[in-house]
Amino acid sequence: MNDFLWAAILGMFVATYVVRASFIVFGQKLRFPPAVVQALGHVPVAVLTAIVVPEALMPGGQFDVSPGNPYLVGTLVAGLVAWKTRNILTAVLVSFAVFGAMRWLL
Amino acid sequence: MSNSTTAAFAGLRDTIPLTVGTTPFAIIFGTLVVSAGLPPEAALALSTIVFAGSAQFISITLIGGGAALPVIWLTTFVVNLRHALYSATVQPVTKSWPLPWRVLGAFWLTDECFAVFERRMQTAGAADSLPYYLGSAVSFYLNWVAWTAVGAYLGNLIPGVATLGLDFAMVATFAAIIAPQLKALTPVVVAATAGAVALLAQGLPYKLGLMLAALAGVVVGVLLDGWRRRLAAEEAA
């Protein structure tokens, strides 16, 4: 463990803890304007899509939109199954099976 | 058994499905950290000190990709911003806890512990909420840390584990979380914006792309909200 890793991890702790502690610890003294609360509502979709899209379309840093890209096909399967079943665990298991089969066979 | 002990056990019991469900991810996380060339202690430190699944997974990409410290910290902050909503939601119940317990309890406010605790708030209100929360949070935390250690120290003993594509676990989970939310125009546009910017900004140094893309998505969402409000106001006038 070098200094860089410790600094990264301790900073990540602070960045995570202040958000979780915001209302629980500081309570009523903290008031977010309604606009900020509404903006927060967009955070999950924005963040998760920003992570998923490059991983699905550019696995290993190479742009690949072919049907032979297991990350792309697996991601679409995960999304589709979750959309149909509303069950995240089922979606992950099914997409992992498709992903694994493609990596194994192709 | 006292009421507190009963409540703590109820918290532990109600969390078991999520504790079990996240166990594979803890193992995969520990394995991926070591596959990325980082020491197993880094995996253990991330699970013990940061304790935020999605941010932990993203940090592997960031640290492995040579991101600068401020980018790692800011991205973690942005990724975890949703926890501010959780913090605000539980506050009416946690305000009855003594300050030291609030300071400690806030550390464990993950997606999973929030989900369990919120359900409890609906049915039991504030009654025995502290022991219930501790039973839920501490058991979930210890399980996450323990299985991280298993992945970090034993995962790479499996031959070829680095080529199994375990990193797909995170992608699949996130895709499964997003998809059901894409049933209105605004989230679809937010997702399209964030995804497009993430692709375009892929080449930026220090892994800045993720943060930029997330911010772009949120800004577009806020603009759409404002636009819809104005339309509604004009129609009413």
Average pLDDT (B18-35) is 92
Distance from CA of B18 to the nearest CA of A (A): 11
Q: Number of A to B CB contacts under 8 A, please give it.
A: 264
Average pLDDT (B212-228) is 94
**Cβ neighbours of residue A65 under 8 Å, at least 6 residues apart?**
A57, A72
Assigned token pair, B234: 């004009």
Q: A68: burial class by Cβ within 10 Å (0-12, 13-18, 19+)? A: exposed
Please list every residue in chain B whose beta carbon sits closer than 8 Å to the beta carbon of residue A64: none
Element (H, E) at B214: helix B209-236
Other CB atoms within 10 A of residue B98 CB: 8
**Residue-level pLDDT at B160:** 80
Longest CA span, chain B: 69
Q: Is the pLDDT of residue A54 over 80?
A: yes
Element (H, E) at B49: none
Please list every residue in chain B whose beta carbon sits closer than 8 Å to the beta carbon of residue A38: 222, 225
Q: B59 — contact with chain A (CB < 8 Å)?
A: yes
Q: Is the pLDDT of residue B190 over 90?
A: yes
Q: Is the pLDDT of residue A63 over 70?
A: yes
B76/A51 CB distance under 8 A: no
* Closest to A24 measured CA to CA, from B52, B89, B82, B117: B89
Share of chain B above pLDDT 90, in %: 67
Q: Is the pLDDT of residue A76 over 70?
A: yes
Please list every residue in chain B whose beta carbon sits closer than 8 Å to the beta carbon of residue A58: 199, 202
A74/B171 CB distance under 8 A: yes
Cα angle: B82, vertex B89, B223; to 5 degrees: 45
**Residue-level pLDDT at B1:** 63
Q: Is the pLDDT of residue B163 over 70?
A: yes
In this prediction the ipTM stands at: 0.89
Residue type, A26: F
Share of chain A above pLDDT 70, in %: 99
**Residue-level pLDDT at B207:** 76
Q: Is the pLDDT of residue B136 over 80?
A: yes
Please give the residue that has the higher pLDDT: either A3 or B85: A3
Q: Is the pLDDT of residue B48 over 90?
A: yes
Distance from CA of B10 to the nearest CA of A (A): 22
**Residue-level pLDDT at B116:** 93
Q: Is the pLDDT of residue B205 over 90?
A: no
Q: Is the pLDDT of residue B21 over 80?
A: yes
Assigned token pair, B2: 């006292």
Average pLDDT (B112-125) is 92
**Residue-level pLDDT at A28:** 65
Q: B177 — contact with chain A (CB < 8 Å)?
A: yes
Residues comprising chain B, all counted: 237
B218/A38 CB distance under 8 A: no
- Integer angstrom CA distances of residue B194 from A41, B16, B60, B155, B189: 14, 34, 21, 33, 8
**Residue-level pLDDT at B152:** 96
Average pLDDT (B4-10) is 96
pTM of the model: 0.86
Q: B180 — contact with chain A (CB < 8 Å)?
A: yes
One-character DSSP codes across A18-49: HHHHHHHHHGGG----HHHHHHHTTHHHHHHH
Compare CB distances from A53 to B51, B76, B195 and report the shortest one's residue: B195
Compare CB distances from A83 to B74, B109, B180 and report the shortest one's residue: B180
Q: Is the pLDDT of residue A42 over 80?
A: yes
